[in-house]
Structure 1
Amino acid sequence: MAMGSKLNRTLMDFIERQPLFFVATAAPEGRVNLSPKGLKTLKIMNESRIVWLSLSGSGNETAAHLAETDRMTLMFCAFSGEAMILRVYGHAKVVHPRADAWSELARLFPPMAGSRQIFDLEIDLVQTSCGSGVPLMDFQAERGTAELLPFYEAMGDEGVRDYWRRKNMLSIDGKPTHVL
């Protein structure tokens, strides 16, 4: 196991090759949330900062948790090639579309229907482990380009906001997400 406080070029290259990452957050009380993410929604800003675009979904746990505590962990696993697990720990903030910083950060990503927030993570610890228990798997394709994105495109902007009102205003523990 190796630890440090910043990403080096080898770790940045590893992150950029991964089609999938996991995000974990927890409020001081309530459930821990762990979610898989994909669709090229993550950008490395520098050795100590990562941002990722959150698309609409059936819940909005990460935003609710960050409203109470700013802790976040990202995990990347090698499902092909040399075995490795990389965990990136830090403190994150939520950037909503109504925030001043949204325009600058949103330009980092292609326009995607249902874009809900951008999470901005300042890294304070980087940890690698062997990953030899992670199975080898073949990546076939992104699902979201065929399923998720057209679903939100068909809704239009107002339909997406209505969806947020119905599904994304509160966490499963009843915590506000501040999505609107």
Structure 2
Amino acid sequence: MSKLYPHIDESLRRFILAQPMFFVATAPTHDGRINLSPKGYRDTFAVLDDHTVAYLDLFGSGVETIAHLRENGRITVMFCSFTRNSKILRLQGTGRVVRPDDAEFTTLRAHFGTDHPGVRAVIVVDCERIADSCGFSVPYLELVDERPVLDKHHARKSDEDFARRIAGDNSASIDALPALESDHPLPSAL
């Protein structure tokens, strides 16, 4: 019913890239809230090599993943098939935040598709455990389309709006762990 993989092989790569969404889970080291975030836009996830994946981190309502990664680096990315072929795949490992002003950001950015407004960072995950499970109880769902709301929302925002987010609700997690710094680049700098 479940299997451990030594690396992300071609079959897993195809499965990952076929999923319209994925989930990211992180947690603080000690007391605090566990975070689980759904992520969309197929072109925001990339398999970099047999043990490394990355995704575009877009401005959102919180900044828990960045705060938790800055504190301890622990992360799990989960893909779940909603088609007739049931499968759940978890990539567990160590994540890091690559800011838009980091030297490797441009190289990483080339792995993703469409220019999405509101890019905050690239999250890179070094996969230490790659495992699937059956997903037999997951329902069948049919994808209607990607939801364009976040891109449209970010496209209307100014640099001042993003600067307020960086200084405000994106400066710390809900448990007051540090997240974005005041010198974090604005999306227009990309």
TM value normalised by structure 1: 0.94
- Choose the corresponding residue for 1:35, options 30, 34, 37: 37
Q: Deviations over 1:93-145 (max 9, x none)?
A: 100112111111122222211100110111111111111010000111111x2
Q: Deviations over 1:130-178 (max 9, x none)?
A: 11010000111111x2x11111111133322222322211100011103
Does the 8 Å contact 1:5/1:123 carry over to 2?
no
Q: Counterparts of 1:138 and 1:13 in 2: how far apart (Å)?
A: 19
**Would you say 1:168 and 2:170 are equivalent positions?**
yes
Q: What aligned pairs does 1:90-109 form with structure 2 within 5 A after superposition?
A: 90-109=93-112
2:76 alignment partner AA: T
Q: What aligned pairs does 1:136-151 form with structure 2 within 5 A after superposition?
A: 136-143=140-147, 145=148, 147-151=149-153
TM value normalised by structure 2: 0.89
Does the 8 Å contact 1:73/1:88 carry over to 2?
yes
* SS in structure 2 of the partner of residue 83 of structure 1: coil
Question: What displacement does 1:21 show?
Answer: 0.3
Aligned counterpart, 2:131: 127
Does the 8 Å contact 1:75/1:86 carry over to 2?
yes
Q: Counterparts of 1:157 and 1:107 in 2: how far apart (Å)?
A: 23
Unaligned runs of 5+ in 1: none
Aligned counterpart, 1:117: 121
Q: How many residues are matched?
A: 178
2:46 alignment partner AA: K
Unaligned runs of 5+ in 2: 185-190
Q: Counterparts of 2:65 and 2:165 in 1: how far apart (Å)?
A: 17
Aligned counterpart, 2:187: none
* SS in structure 1 of the partner of residue 157 of structure 2: helix
